[in-house]
Amino acid sequence: MIKSSKVVLSIMSLACVVGLVACGNGGNSSSDDKLEDTLNVIGGCEEPYLKAVCEAFATKYSIKVNYQRLSAGEMQSKVEGEDGSPTSDVLFGGTTDPYNALKNDKLLEQYTSPNDGNITDSKFKDADHYWYGIYKGILGFMWNKDKIKELNITAPTSWADLLADQYHSGSNKYITWSHPSTAGTAKLTVNTIVQLKADGKKVKYDNEGTETEAYDDTEGMKYFKSLDANIAEYTKSGSGASKKVGSGECVIGIGFLHDVIYQIVDMKYGTEKIGMSTPSEGTAFEVGATAMLKGAKNPKAAKKFIDFALTPECVELGAKNGSYQFLVLDSKTGVKQPQAAIDAGLTDVKVMDYDFSDAKINTSHYVTDWMTAVNKAAPTA
């Protein structure tokens, strides 16, 4: 069960109280530039990474930081429910699908960071500066080697393989995946399959009174209906499968491979227990992001947090705390990529020509169609 938590970090040493010029607010103690005393963060990345980033920011700027870890879908729902009067100031981590939805709903604050130049690839930041990327994670498959052998089945190497009859037997099903209404990982998977199956074909649909063009998702929805016959569980969080694969609670999972690396390295299951691969047809990658919320109560601290998020000092905390996504800062910043992901061979995978522009506009449309086609309620825990 994936638990959300809220922790208060209050890091204010006597040295910083006495010497704010040296320890607080980036060395600038003028009243105009002084940060607020508190920052509230919602995180969609894994909690150890989120905690480390919040602690580092709290120490660096001598303020109190509250954080809450939610799945990407929960994060989006929380912000939408608060409708412009947010209880948090910034978002950190989680796929960009919720960020784009929140931007469209005018619930993000536009901000051009002085560290904007640290990201040079346009895929990794919003063109209008509503969000910035911090990492990318590769989508793929994972499996428990003992279970595969015990069940006398073979591990998947393609999206097509996942539909094979060998992945169910009577009432027993062997694939674990996350739910598209709650997990950014699943939303990315839905977009990936829709784009692959549409083969470039687009159709028009009515989007709340506006005619919008999207990929024809007919074949994609047929795929997901067939896949459902092999799904043992839809988890709330995208990392749900990876957290169960080492123990054998998950036989085969769909998810991000950096989460698998955590299980192999940090949880010490090793490659003798867990296998992983990327689909031969091509895979996609998430872009984990950060953004300031419209109506943030602590805007100066929120902007400073985004500036901090676009530095090697911040993003390199990922690999130090079990998050092995590749980092999107330009190499000129001196950023160090996670060695564990390099060692796992994730620098050499077949990546599809993913249409990020379409995903920004049409993800909710495809998820709605998925809910109609598959008709499975979202998990509550």
pLDDT in tens, 279-325: 999 999 999 999 999 999 999 999 999 999 999 999 999 999 999 99
pLDDT higher than threshold 80 for residue 17? no
The count of domains in the chain is 2
* Whether the Cβ atoms of residue 284 and residue 193 lie closer than 8 Å to each other: no
Identify the bridge partners of residue 326 per DSSP, sorted by sequence position: 136
Give the structural domain span for 361: 138-285+350-374
Whether 326 maps to a domain, the answer reads yes
Residue 150 sits in the same domain as residue 252: yes
Whether 95 maps to a domain, the answer reads yes
pLDDT higher than threshold 60 for residue 14? no
pLDDT higher than threshold 50 for residue 361? yes
Q: How far is CA 264 from CA 7, 94, 103, 236, 243, in A?
A: 27, 22, 36, 22, 10
Q: Residue 304 corresponds to which tokens in the numbers above?
A: 């400073």
Residue 194 sits in the same domain as residue 62: no
Question: What are 153-196's pLDDT values in tens digits?
Answer: 999 999 999 999 999 999 999 999 999 999 999 999 999 999 99
Residue 265 belongs to domain with CATH number: 3.40.190.10
Q: Count the helix, strand and coil residues of the chain and give each as a percent rounded to the nearest 5.
A: 40, 25, 35
Mean confidence (pLDDT) of the chain = 92
Residue 113 sits in the same domain as residue 126: yes
Q: How far is CA 9 from CA 43, 80, 155, 160, in A?
A: 15, 26, 43, 46
For residues 228-242, average pLDDT: 97
Whether 380 maps to a domain, the answer reads no
Q: Residue 248 corresponds to which tokens in the numbers above?
A: 């054998």
Question: What are 59-106's pLDDT values in tens digits?
Answer: 999 999 999 999 999 999 999 999 999 999 999 999 999 999 999 999
Nearest alpha-carbon partner for 187 in 328, 324, 75, 50:
75
Residue 191 sits in the same domain as residue 303: no
Nearest alpha-carbon partner for 130 in 336, 11, 306, 292:
292
Residue 238 sits in the same domain as residue 261: yes
Q: How far apart are CA 32 and CA 18, in angstroms?
A: 19
Residue 280 sits in the same domain as residue 292: no
CA-angle at 259, arms to 255 and 264, nearest 5° = 120
Whether 343 maps to a domain, the answer reads no
pLDDT at position 32 is 61
Residue 310 sits in the same domain as residue 356: no
Element (H, E) at 82: helix 72-82
Q: Which of the two residues, 126 and 1, has the higher pLDDT score?
A: 126
CA-angle at 80, arms to 74 and 82, nearest 5° = 105
Whether 381 maps to a domain, the answer reads no
Identify the bridge partners of residue 66 per DSSP, sorted by sequence position: 8, 40
% pLDDT > 70, the chain? 92
Q: What is the largest CA-CA distance in the chain?
A: 70
Cα within 13 Å of Cα(240), Cβ side: 27
Whether 345 maps to a domain, the answer reads no
Residue 317 sits in the same domain as residue 178: no
Nearest alpha-carbon partner for 260 in 276, 249, 273:
276
CB 6: neighbour CB atoms within 10 A?
10
For residues 330-340, average pLDDT: 98
Residue 355 sits in the same domain as residue 329: no
Non-local (6+) Cβ contacts of 218 within 8 A are: none
For residues 241-267, average pLDDT: 97
pLDDT at position 302 is 98
Residue 129 sits in the same domain as residue 146: no
Identify the bridge partners of residue 254 per DSSP, sorted by sequence position: 141
Cα within 13 Å of Cα(255), Cβ side: 32
Nearest alpha-carbon partner for 144 in 245, 2, 3:
245
Q: How far apart are CA 272 and CA 23, in angstroms?
A: 47
Identify the bridge partners of residue 169 per DSSP, sorted by sequence position: 172
Whether 27 maps to a domain, the answer reads yes
Residue 178 sits in the same domain as residue 33: no
Pairing of β 38-43 and β 252-256: unpaired
pLDDT at position 197 is 98
Q: How far apart are CA 306 and CA 133, in angstroms?
A: 10
Confidence of residue 20 (pLDDT cuts 50, 70, 90): very low
Whether 261 maps to a domain, the answer reads yes
- Lowest mean pLDDT, pick from 16-25, 152-161, 233-242: 16-25
Q: Which of the two residues, 7 and 264, has the higher pLDDT score?
A: 264
Residue 61 sits in the same domain as residue 112: yes
Read off φ and ψ for residue 169, nearest 5 degrees. -145, 105
